[in-house]
Amino acid sequence: MIDLRLINFMREELAATPTKFERYMVSEIPWNDRMIGLVGPRGVGKSTLVKQQILKEQKDDYIQLYVSADHSYFANHTLTDLADSFIAEGGKRLVIDEIHKYHGWSRELKQIYDSHPNLKIIFTGSSILDIKKGGADLSRRAIMFDMQGLSFREYLEMFEDISLPAYSIEDITENRIEYNMDFHPLPYFRKYLANGYYPFGQLPRFDIRMQQIFSETIEVDIPTFANMTPSTVRKLKQMMMIISESAPYKPNMLNLSVELKISKNDVPDYLVYLEKAGMISQLRDSTSGMRNLGKVEKVFIDNPNLMTVLAGGSPNIGNLRETFFFNQTRVKNLVQASKISDFEINGITYEVGGANKGRAQLAKAKKGIVVRDDIEYGSSDIVPLWTFGMNY
């Protein structure tokens, strides 16, 4: 029989789950597949998404079961114990939140998958979770999805009760965004840049919550997966501070290695750990033609909210604009460094700036777009910056 502590835990969690708003990923995940993994940075709403899905189909406590991998139940029980009991009670879908907090998770998930072919499994975990490492390779069993924070469009719907559809990058670039003329986006946009990327952005003391996410990611999440020593963690923090002070940062591996007193060969690994953990984003060139394989041209703080907090509430506005553009467009598109300007997407060059930004740097572009902050409407090859937040 399923431990009543787990049943009561699930009931309490589901009762507290908001259902009014659903994230962009809900229609992209094949929820009926045998094993689904949902990863992403801390605080972006992974747990809420999977609990909403349970609520949609919940008919009986014993058909679906939601557990957290750090529940006290697992102090003297295993995941395989739970799965065996759940199947014996007629269970159909097991949802395991924060799987990275369970030692040996990959080996046991593989065993559960192979032993119970009729059981569907959903698990969530840290964005640096690697299903190809650990006790077992789950890459042939689990379909993985990477979740990001709120787009500007999602923020408007979730917090301001303003509903707009998602638009393709082509529609945005061609200024085909349609909305009520009574809607004035700029005041909302400024609020979003400060605290709208995370679903908890409207809660009190957002800055403290963000500092906690930063510390836990650097001090707990990354070291757990990379087997780092405390001294290495301090180097990681130093690297993050160096990047945040000048982002977008043009990486110089030798200079970073000297400043941090580490091997030059370790610098790219540190950057990858920070990127996977949702702390930074690396803008690469088009040499490889594939995502995440080109040469790194610039390093950005991952999102405008994190950038604002790390800058003590006063980020450089020019850097903030570029951070927003990269953060919002990378979810649905391959964004690469431009040789003549800021960004390139699908062969189109984008130059990001303020309301008076000109076309000078786009003179040699086959097709160039000026992306301007502080304007509501666009025309021809001038596009408002905020509209790129409608991409997902």
What pLDDT does residue 133 have?
A: 75
- Average pLDDT for 112-118: 97
Confidence of residue 291 (pLDDT cuts 50, 70, 90): low
**pLDDT tens digit string along 135-175?**
688 999 999 999 999 999 999 999 999 999 999 999 999 99
Give, in order, the Cα–Cα distances in Å from 260 to each of 220, 235, 242: 20, 6, 10
Confidence of residue 115 (pLDDT cuts 50, 70, 90): very high
Report the C-alpha gap between 237 and 227 in whole angstroms: 16
- β-partners of residue 271 are none
Asked whether the CA dihedral 289, 292, 293, 299 is positive or negative, the reply is: positive
Count the residues in the chain: 392
**pLDDT tens digit string along 319-364?**
999 999 999 999 999 999 999 999 999 999 999 999 889 888 898 9
pLDDT at 131 over 90: no
pLDDT at 61 over 70: no
pLDDT at 123 over 80: yes
What pLDDT does residue 289 have?
A: 59
Residue type, 356: N
H or E stretch covering 237? helix 230-246
pLDDT at 292 over 80: no
Asked whether the CA dihedral 316, 319, 324, 327 is positive or negative, the reply is: negative
Confidence of residue 288 (pLDDT cuts 50, 70, 90): low
**pLDDT tens digit string along 65-90?**
999 999 999 999 999 999 999 999 99
Own/partner long-range contacts of 55-63 (Cβ < 8 Å, ≥24 apart): 55/14, 55/17, 55/19, 58/14, 61/2, 61/7, 61/10, 61/11, 62/2, 62/86, 62/89, 62/90, 62/91, 63/90, 63/91, 63/92, 63/93
What pLDDT does residue 134 have?
A: 66
**pLDDT tens digit string along 223-251?**
988 888 899 999 999 999 999 988 899 98
Report the mean per-residue pLDDT for the chain. 94
Global pTM reads 0.93
- β-partners of residue 280 are 301
